[in-house]
Amino acid sequence: MAEKKSLGKELTKGIIIENPVLRLVLGTCPTLATSTSVTGAIGMGLSASIVLICSNIVISALRKVIPAKVRIPAYIVVIASFVTIVQMLVKAFVPVLDEQLGVYLPLIVVNCIILGRAEAFAGKNGVLASAVDGLGMGIGFTAALFVMATIREILGAGTFLAGLGGLIGNDFNGFSIPFLNENPMLIFVLAPGGFFTYGLVMALANKLAESKGKPKAELKGCENCPMAKSCAIRTTDESCEKKEVEA
């Protein structure tokens, strides 16, 4: 029962409490760039989630084999391999999505959400827990993209799910929002609108997290990061500082 509770907690924490985009403030670049349309946001979220789950599983399985000194390069090789596979599959079966995401699909390799989970969780926990962690963080990432893209597409283009037919292979072109379709607020599909929407959604996520007794996501240093206790980089830095003081 304890194991089930633990896995359930690992699955749900990435949705609100430790949402990688809204709480840990990771993956900001692809979030702002691909959240102009819901179809693109869903495509990016699913692609990143697949890479996140698969890389977490492999890194967790190899955590006792990978030397500590080369763990980051090893993690990147694993992540890059899965990104290549996902990109080839997208190019072969969903070329419209490949064109829509452009350079941001291969750039999943350097997405700090994936490397961060590999370093903070998969490299220290079992395969099953790491897979569940990857799934939860993937759901949280996709959910954040979906919410932001919904706001930006409706207000900025007057449509919802535009272009979905090209992804699923039919003539469905999404929904047209009356009035907004004729007079869209174009700023929402531009960079300023992206940052504005990001701030609003982050504020809402903070409010929900606060209602569950969690602190605000404030960028004041490592001590406020939910992963601070398990971060190998921070632990190493603190150890070095202590040795210097003792010397």
- The residues with which 160 forms a beta bridge, in sequence order, are 175
CB neighbour list of residue 24: distance below 8 Å, 6 or more residues apart: 18, 113, 116, 217, 225, 226, 227
pLDDT of residue 5: 46
Ordered by start, the domain boundaries in the chain are 2-217
pLDDT band at 241 (very low <50, low <70, confident <90, very high): very low
Alpha-carbon distance 32 to 191, whole Å?
7
The Cα 43–Cα 173 span in angstroms is 16
Average pLDDT over residues 24-30: 86
pTM for the model: 0.80
pLDDT score recorded for residue 218: 57
Task: Determine the pLDDT at residue 221.
Answer: 47
Question: CA dihedral in degrees (175, 179, 185, 188; nearest 10)?
Answer: -30
Mean pLDDT (whole number) for 167-196? 80
pLDDT of residue 177: 80
- Alpha-carbon distance of 132 to 12, in angstroms, equals 9
**Eight-class DSSP state of 214:** P
Which residues have CB under 8 Å from 43's CB, separation 6+? 34, 90, 94, 97, 100, 101, 167
pLDDT digits (tens, 9 = 90+) for 72-120: 999 999 999 999 999 999 998 888 888 888 888 888 888 888 988 998 8
pLDDT-above-90 percentage for the chain: 31
Contact 181, 158 (CB under 8 A): yes
For all residues of the chain together, what is the average pLDDT?
81
Closest CA to 28 of 135, 101, 127, 111: 111
pLDDT tens for 148-166 read 999 999 998 888 887 776 6
| Residue 222 clears pLDDT 70, i.e. is over it | no
Structure tokens at 170: 């039919």
Query: Quick check: 229 pLDDT over 80?
Result: no
Q: How many whole angstroms separate alpha carbon 109 and alpha carbon 41?
A: 17
Confidence tier at 217 by pLDDT (50, 70, 90): low
Task: Give 29-50 pLDDT, tens digit per residue.
Answer: 889 988 988 988 999 999 999 9
With a cut of 80, say whether residue 169 has pLDDT above it.
no
Report the largest interatomic distance among the alpha carbons of the chain, rounded to a whole angstrom.
71
Q: What is the pLDDT of residue 243?
A: 44
